[in-house]
Amino acid sequence: MIWRSKLWLLYLNAFVIGGVLMGFEMLGSRYLFPYFGGGIATWAGLISTVLVALTIGYFLGGAIIDKFPTARVIAISVALAASYMALIPLAADQAMSSILHGLGYGGTGILAASASLCLIPLSLLGMFSPVAVRLLTNSKEGTGRTAGMVYGVSTLGNVFGTLFTTFTLIPAIGSRNITFLFAAVLSLCTLSLSLASE
């Protein structure tokens, strides 16, 4: 468990990680569109992949935190997500091109491309909410309120990340620089979560 004086770090990270998560979903479209277009099929593949990633993250986070109830669990997860994101600008073009030529323009290719971008990092980030709920819960009476706070703060982060990425970051600095920025922000989250675990 963590000291109560550090609990605010988990709520802050819920907002920031929620923002990065949805910001990266919007950014994922920019990596996919040059190869698979911007139609409804591409969006369906991307959104479905993000939802599957979150499902995996929720299950994994819930299972792991019951065995290892420490913020270090999510710090490691966020660090791995940051590392993966930092590699995407370097590998995305080759990966998208290879998938397009190997699997074609249809649903299989779109899902494979979306998975190569989003499945691993967003699954790792999806672990955050169940871990935070477990760390913040002190009694059965507080479980519902705590879960509501964590998911509520995270969802506000989702909204902020979606809008800020779409209307401010993408026009200003471009997809690859934003990806590096997200990786850097997640690295800072890793440091703060490591502090919370001490």
Q: Give the distance, in angstroms, between the CA of residue 55 and the centroid of all CA atoms in the same chain.
A: 12
Query: pLDDT value at position 20?
Result: 98
The answer to which of 29-33, 104-108, 143-147 has the lowest mean pLDDT is 143-147
Query: pLDDT value at position 1?
Result: 46
On average, the pLDDT of the chain sits at 91
Query: pLDDT value at position 138?
Result: 59
Name the pLDDT band for 3 (thresholds 50, 70, 90): very low
Q: What is the pLDDT of residues 14-60, one digit of tens each?
A: 999 999 999 999 999 999 999 999 899 999 999 999 999 999 999 99
* Fold annotation for 4-196: Growth Hormone; Chain: A; (1.20.1250)
Query: pLDDT value at position 4?
Result: 56
DSSP-assigned letters across all residues of 17-54:
HHHHHHHHHHHHHHHHHHHH-SSHHHHHHHHHHHHHHH
